[in-house]
Amino acid sequence: MIQYLIIAAITAVITFVVSLAVYRGALKYKLYPSIRERDVHTRPTPRLGGVAMFVGVIAAFVIASQNPFFASTFGSPGPILAIGGAALLTVLIGVADDIWDLDWMIKLAGQFLAAGLIAWLGVQIYSLPIGGLTVGSSWMSFTMTVFAIVLVMNAINFIDGLDGLVAGVALIANGTFLIYGYLLVRETGQTSFFNLSLLISAVLVGACAGFLPLNWHPARMFMGDAGALLVGLLMATSAVAITGTVDPTSLGRSQLLGIYIPIILPFAILVVPLLDFGLAVFRRLRAGKSPFSADRKHLHHRLLDMGHTHFQAVLIFYAWTSVIAISCLLFFVFQPYWVALVFLIAGVIICAVVTLAPLGRRKTLEFSAQTVGADDPAFERVREFDPLDAASEDRPHDAPISHELVAEVVAVAEAQRTEPEASPVRRSDDDAPAPKDTP
């Protein structure tokens, strides 16, 4: 494990240094696109972080090739060359899309080409971790691998909408998968595919960690489609390299859940991106649109609309990813499974409460705003919180709803409800109009 941690640290340093250089170059030459309607940032920001991550990944592979510890991995150069070529193609397509906004069919064709290159040179799903089921034909193995890689690439790209979201989620997911792979190697013995999977996970952890400081909210630079697609490509390749070659029956675990962990974990660490991807495709197809057309209804957009701040929405994604990924890892490590089950149940409950918390505050806010009369001096200040008032359309959907804000509006409403009704003001004789002069 020490060797993998060293590679991860080297990748992080290289990625961070290159990210700073790319960021300064992008600002100097104004290499950043205009703000789109669905974007949540308010100022033009460079999207070339994927280029820096690619440089860090390739440099890490070159350095690892000189380490005798990874001799078995680089003994067969085909898969490594395929990953490097696919990564280069992915980054070129991503950068072109960030600059010129490519048609979705061109992007998808490039993704299939990159995935096909990896599958063609040996990284394939040869067996399914379901009772040691072997894929029947080489053509079926190739097809399953390509579609799996493309699916993960798009799932990761779809959630890339908030500062630090993809980098943090990938860091958590790949860190978990790195530990899982290491434990699996100890039980089944080392192979070149296992080493390749662990090396990819370690390199990806380092690339995400090195880029995250510049991508943390408020982000100075985005990874763009180049970075998100690259992360998805490497995550899928790592999972295929280890999950598609392991026979779960060799793990010595008689329990049913232990047998299925190799296929559950790759999906578990990607549950949030895959859920967002599935909902987006269903939503767009139902509306008669392309499944790759852009909109502002992703899960991270919905969290903002619920009232979470940008930072809170990102942390919620981190929390859900951590709970599900770590739970699956605990199911693999501990037997009996009650430890993992307790952690999973407690984590889901806590995440659900935190995720839905703004809804209660929003309802309280709306009810209180609706009780303030139009003649109240505070009416103009609180009417934007009344969903039935036209002024509420001027309030940004992602404006945070804090406890202090709720307390302020509730106090205004309570003050009006407790204020005694004003009695009619009687006019004094001095206020009476003077009689008109008669002729």
Q: Quick: pLDDT tens for 135-166.
A: 556 788 888 889 989 999 998 998 888 899 99
Give the percent of the chain with pLDDT over 70.
Answer: 69
Which position has the higher pLDDT, 246 or 388? 246
Give the residue ranges of the annotated binding site.
Answer: 157, 225
The predicted pLDDT at position 299 comes to 85
- Single-letter amino acid, residue 369: A
State yes or no: pLDDT of 419 exceeds 90: no
Residues 100-127 pLDDT 10s: 888 888 999 999 999 999 999 878 877 6
The predicted pLDDT at position 310 comes to 85
Q: What is the reported pTM?
A: 0.78
Q: Region 362-366: what's the mean pLDDT?
A: 62
Q: Which two tokens stand for residue 92?
A: 């070129």
Q: In 122-223, which ranges are continuous DSSP H helix? A: 138-158, 165-188, 192-215
Average pLDDT of the chain to the nearest whole number: 78
Burial of 78 (0-12, 13-18, 19+ CB in 10 A): exposed
The predicted pLDDT at position 425 comes to 45
Helical pair 165-188 and 224-243, crossing angle rounded to 10 deg: 20
Give the residue ranges of the annotated binding site for Mg(2+).
Answer: 157, 225
Q: Kindly indicate the confidence band of residue 279, based on its pLDDT and cuts at 50, 70 and 90.
A: confident
Out of 105-114, 229-238, 263-272, pick the least confident: 263-272
Q: Which two tokens stand for residue 397?
A: 């959907």
Alpha-carbon distance 332 to 258, whole Å? 6
Which position has the higher pLDDT, 288 or 87? 87
Q: Region 170-191: what's the mean pLDDT?
A: 80
Q: Kindly indicate the confidence band of residue 438, based on its pLDDT and cuts at 50, 70 and 90.
A: very low
Torsion of CA 44, 49, 52, 54, to 10 degrees: -140
The predicted pLDDT at position 390 comes to 44
The predicted pLDDT at position 389 comes to 44
The predicted pLDDT at position 35 comes to 65
State yes or no: pLDDT of 244 exceeds 60: no
The predicted pLDDT at position 63 comes to 94
Q: Kindly indicate the confidence band of residue 423, based on its pLDDT and cuts at 50, 70 and 90.
A: very low
Helix/strand number for the chain, H first, E second? 16, 2
The predicted pLDDT at position 189 comes to 62
Alpha-carbon distance 48 to 28, whole Å? 13
* Number of other CB atoms surrounding residue 388 within 10 Å: 9
The dihedral through the CA atoms of 145, 147, 148, 153 has a sign that is positive
The predicted pLDDT at position 60 comes to 95
Q: Kindly indicate the confidence band of residue 374, based on its pLDDT and cuts at 50, 70 and 90.
A: low
- Spatial neighbors of 354 by CB under 8 A, at least 6 apart, are 316, 319
Q: Kindly indicate the confidence band of residue 64, based on its pLDDT and cuts at 50, 70 and 90.
A: very high
The predicted pLDDT at position 53 comes to 96
